[in-house]
Chains A and B, each alone.
Chain A
Amino acid sequence: MINITKFAYEPGEHEAEKASNSYLMSLIALIAGLPIPIINLLATLIFYLGNRKGTYFVRWHCTQALLSQFSVLFINSYGFWWTVSIIFTDQSVTNNYIAYIIAAIIFNLTEFIATIYTAIQTRKGIHVEWWFYGSLSNLICKPES
Chain B
Amino acid sequence: MKKTFAQGIIIIVLFFFTWFLLTQLDWMTIFKVEKITDKTEEKLGELFWDNFKKSERENMNPYVANSIDTIVNKICIENEIDKQKIKLHIFDKYEVNAFALPNGHLLIYSGLILAAENQEELSGVICHEIAHIQLNHVMKKLIKEVGLSVIISMASGNGGAEIIKETAKLLSSTAFDRSLEKEADIKAVEYLINAKINPEAFANFLYKQSADEHEALKYLSWLNTHPDSKERAEYIIAYCENKSVKYEPILSTATWEKLKEEL
Which residues of chain A have a CB within 8 Å of any CB of chain B?
71, 75, 86-90, 92-96, 98-100, 102-103, 106-107, 131-132, 135-136, 139
Given A135-B4, A135-B7, A136-B4, A103 contacting B27 (CB threshold 8 A): no
Interface size bracket, B side: 20 to 34
B140 on the A face (CB < 8 A): yes
A95–B4 CB distance below 8 A: no
A75–B15 CB distance below 8 A: yes
Q: Nearest residue in B to A87 (C-beta to C-beta)?
A: B148
Give the contacting residue for B27; candidates A89, A90, A98, A131; CB below 8 A: A98
Question: What sequence of 0s and 1s flags, for each residue 141-165 of chain B, a beta carbon within 8 Å of any chain A beta carbon?
Answer: 1011001110000000000000000
A103–B140 CB distance below 8 A: no
Given A90-B143, A95-B23, A98-B27, A103 contacting B7 (CB threshold 8 A): no
Q: What are 11 A-B contacts defined by CB distance under 8 Å? A: A75-B15, A89-B143, A94-B28, A95-B27, A103-B18, A103-B22, A132-B4, A132-B7, A132-B10, A135-B3, A135-B4
Q: Nearest residue in B to A132 (C-beta to C-beta)?
A: B7
Known contacts A103-B15, A132-B10, A139-B1; 12 further A-B pairs (Cβ under 8 A): A90-B143, A90-B144, A92-B37, A94-B28, A95-B26, A95-B28, A99-B25, A99-B27, A102-B27, A103-B18, A103-B19, A132-B8
Q: B140 contacts which chain A residues (CB < 8 A)?
A: 90
B4–A71 CB distance below 8 A: no
B7–A99 CB distance below 8 A: no
